[in-house]
């Protein structure tokens, strides 16, 4: 049998069910790998926020907390169920969670000093659903502070390094999740996608990730950035693995999440092996503008030819409001963030400034010291566009254009079954390279934002290597509730190619 970290999630689940390996052995294997790539101070209290030790170059920056005793307790419970013949579908398979999902047995910081030492009294619905399928929680993964960023450089616990080149970014905000899977530190991870934060790091790190239709996965226990955009999704090596995870993660939760679609659980693996002959794939001309780097364009075009060889038909389409998605997103998302983050004031939980004379100073100093620069910038933008005299000029107009972007997709879907194109205009850039130009970071989301604003399902899968041998991802966008079709196309592509099997040297 291959090394455990080289197996797909499906293969690992099969090995556990057949008792070829135990859940405890599996968890110990991945914990050892994860800790070898982490320089965190071991704390007697597992709910303390991480402190980095030693040379940070020895750390991937992916993991930010462990609770080994709890992880091994879950693994032992899985071994017992397997022995008793009551194993669930993903019994004993390890997973790690983005540090934006609250958890009872691990600290939850959302990558921010503001939540230093915070321990939730409950688990997020997504965490509970995956644990109910038998999955074992290995720990929490680094992310941009409150999920705000395109590079995972905004975390209070330091940046996440790209496994293919540790001088480059892993992508954001789910960079810790993408890097951990690519490095083989865990077979799967959860992520969240507000404007591309699953798809973009998946593309940069050479793994597969999917953002389902808005409302498919419960947002209960997922710390909010922009409530009308945030959506949870899985990140793994293959489309088949993502289908298994998505089947566990999705399901109606209307009693606890008012944005949850009241739909029953669904088996997203059901159509994986269906041929894609005759499938119409829309190719938006706006996704192939002059801003698309040559090596990314080449990989995408070759991937589209492969889909044609599998029987799909490429159809030219237009998404004319694509270029407006960036200004619309960076009005709407900060506006919602300014409201959502108003609760972090040092009164009830989280960070509190040490010295203050009155309540006003408590609020002001706590938020100034607790929030990072990017978060403060977005709060200020959001507060501005919601203020008297600017609401109609900015926020209301952005909402109108958001509807137009959604309508563009519906017009396009009259002529195609799904849409394909690049995830990002370029491969992962150097750490710190774009810190002096925030607009460059924002422009990296130009191809992912439209689907997020429309609430559509979208995914990234590896399709090539670009400049400096860095991964390139192909984006697939479906119509509402069209996750099964996306996963079907991705699986057929991965059966015909081997890009998803390529790993960075650091994972060996």
- CA separation for the pair 493, 500 (Å, rounded): 10
Q: What's the pLDDT score for residue 441?
A: 78
Residue 211's φ and ψ, nearest 5 degrees, are -100, 115
Catalytic residue, from 98, 161, 211, 321: name it.
Answer: 98
- Kindly tell me the burial class for residue 51, based on how many C-beta atoms sit within 10 Å of its own C-beta (0-12, 13-18, 19 or more): exposed
**What was the pLDDT predicted at 340?**
97
The single residue listed with the structure tokens 């970290």 is: 5
Task: Give CA separation, 202 vs 19, 172, 336, 413, in Å.
Answer: 31, 9, 25, 25
Write phi, then psi, for 238 (nearest 5 degrees).
-130, 165
Q: Which of 8, 27, 65, 197 is catalytic?
A: 197
Say which CATH number the domain at 13 has.
Answer: 3.90.1300.10
Sign of the Cα pseudo-torsion (99, 101, 107, 111, in order): positive
pLDDT at position 438: 73
Of 98, 97, 335, 119, the closest CA to residue 227 belongs to 335
- What pLDDT does 1 receive? 56
pLDDT tens, position by position, for the chain (508 residues)?
579 999 999 999 999 999 999 999 999 999 999 999 987 554 444 455 455 443 455 589 999 999 999 999 999 999 999 999 999 999 999 999 999 999 999 999 999 999 988 999 999 999 999 999 999 999 999 999 999 999 999 999 999 999 999 999 999 999 999 999 999 999 999 999 999 999 999 999 999 999 999 999 999 999 999 999 999 999 999 999 999 999 999 999 999 999 999 999 999 999 999 999 999 999 999 999 999 999 999 999 999 999 999 999 999 999 999 999 999 999 999 999 999 999 999 998 889 999 999 999 999 999 999 999 999 999 999 999 999 999 999 999 999 999 999 999 999 999 999 999 999 999 999 999 988 777 777 888 999 999 999 999 999 999 999 989 999 999 999 999 999 999 999 999 999 999 999 999 743 3
Evaluate whether residue 469 is within a structural domain. yes
Q: Are strands 188-193 and 165-169 parallel, antiparallel or unpaired?
A: unpaired
Q: Where are the alpha helices (DSSP H) in 86-174?
A: 125-132
How far is it, in rounded angstroms, from Cα 158 to Cα 471? Answer: 23
Determine whether 400 is an active site residue. no
18 lies in which domain range?
4-321+406-507
d(CA 149, CA 380): 16
* Three-state secondary structure of 286-299: HHHCCCCCHHHHHH
Whether residue 480 lies inside any domain: the answer is: yes
- Asked whether the beta carbons of 416 and 315 are under 8 A apart, the reply is yes
> H-helix or E-strand containing 249?
helix 239-249
Q: Indicate whether 206 belongs to any domain.
A: yes
50 touches 40 (CB < 8 A) = yes
Q: 105 in a domain, yes or no?
A: yes
pTM of the shown model:
0.95
Element holding 236 (H helix, E strand): strand 231-236
The confidence score (pLDDT) of residue 116 equals 85
| Helix pair 397-412, 325-340: axis angle to 10 deg | 130
In angstroms, what CA-CA distances link 341 with 69, 226, 334?
33, 10, 10
Residue 342 located in a structural domain: no
Q: Would you say residue 145 lies in a domain? A: yes
Out of 120, 173, 203, 484, pick the active-site residue. Answer: 173
Question: What pLDDT score does 506 carry?
Answer: 42
- The rounded distance, in Å, linking the Cα atoms of 277 and 275 is 6
Q: What is the pLDDT of residue 102?
A: 98
pLDDT of residue 507: 39
Q: Does the residue 217 lie in any domain?
A: yes
| Annotated catalytic residue 197 | yes
Whether 90 maps to a domain, the answer reads yes
Q: How far is CA 334 from CA 160, 330, 355, in A?
A: 23, 6, 29
Please tell me the predicted confidence (pLDDT) of residue 44. 40
pLDDT at 436: 76
What's the domain count of the chain?
Answer: 1
Predicted local confidence at residue 46, as pLDDT:
46
Q: Is-contact 506 166, C-beta < 8 A?
A: yes
Predicted confidence at residue 246, as pLDDT, reads: 98
């Amino acid at each position: 049998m291959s090394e455990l970290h080289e197996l797909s999630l499906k293969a690992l689940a099969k090995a556990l069910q057949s008792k070829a390996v135990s859940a405890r052995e599996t968890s110990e294997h991945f914990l050892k790998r994860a800790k070898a790539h982490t320089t965190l101070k071991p704390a007697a209290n597992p709910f303390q926020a991480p402190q980095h030790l030693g040379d940070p170059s020895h750390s991937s920056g992916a993991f930010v907390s462990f609770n080994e005793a709890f992880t091994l307790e879950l693994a032992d419970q899985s071994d017992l169920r397997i022995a008793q013949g009551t194993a669930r579908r993903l019994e004993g398979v390890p997973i790690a969670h983005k540090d934006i999902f609250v958890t009872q047995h691990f600290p939850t910081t959302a990558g921010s000093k503001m939540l230093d030492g915070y321990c939730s009294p409950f688990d997020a619905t997504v965490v509970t659903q995956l644990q109910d399928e038998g999955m074992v929680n290995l720990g929490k993964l680094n992310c941009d502070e409150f999920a705000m960023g395109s590079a995972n450089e905004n975390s209070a616990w330091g940046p996440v390094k790209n496994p293919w080149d540790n001088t480059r970014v892993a992508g954001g905000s789910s960079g810790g999740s993408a890097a951990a899977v690519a490095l083989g530190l865990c077979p799967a991870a959860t992520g969240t996608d507000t404007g591309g934060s699953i798809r973009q790091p998946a593309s940069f790190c050479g793994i597969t990730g999917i953002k389902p239709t808005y409302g498919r996965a419960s947002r209960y226990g997922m710390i909010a950035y922009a409530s009308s955009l945030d959506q949870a999704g899985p990140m793994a090596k293959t489309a088949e693995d993502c289908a298994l995870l998505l089947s566990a993660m999705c399901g109606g939760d209307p009693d606890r999440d008012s944005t949850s679609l009241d739909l029953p659980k669904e088996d997203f693996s059901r159509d994986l092996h269906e041929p894609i002959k005759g499938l119409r794939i829309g190719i938006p001309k706006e996704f192939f503008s002059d801003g698309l780097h040559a090596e990314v364009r080449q990989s995408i075009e070759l991937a589209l030819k492969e889909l044609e060889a599998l029987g799909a038909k490429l159809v030219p389409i237009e998404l004319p409001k694509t270029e407006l998605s960036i200004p619309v997103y960076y009005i709407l998302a900060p506006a919602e963030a300014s409201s959502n983050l108003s609760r972090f004031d040092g009164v009830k939980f989280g960070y509190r400034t040490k010295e203050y004379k009155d309540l006003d100073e408590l609020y002001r100093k706590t938020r100034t010291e607790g929030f990072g620069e990017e978060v403060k910038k977005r709060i200020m933008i959001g507060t501005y566009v919601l203020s008297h005299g600017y609401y109609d000029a900015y926020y209301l107009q952005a909402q109108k254009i958001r509807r137009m972007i959604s309508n563009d997709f519906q017009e396009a879907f009259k002529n195609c079954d799904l849409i394909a194109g690049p995830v990002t205009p370029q491969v992962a850039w150097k750490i710190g390279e774009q810190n002096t130009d925030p607009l460059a970071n924002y422009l990296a989301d130009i191809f992912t934002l439209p689907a997020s604003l429309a609430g559509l399902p979208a995914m990234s899968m590896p399709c090539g290597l670009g400049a400096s041998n860095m991964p390139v991802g192909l984006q697939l966008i479906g119509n509402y509730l069209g996750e099964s079709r996306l996963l079907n196309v991705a699986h057929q592509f991965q059966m015909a190619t081997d890009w998803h099997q390529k790993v960075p040297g650091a994972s060996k």
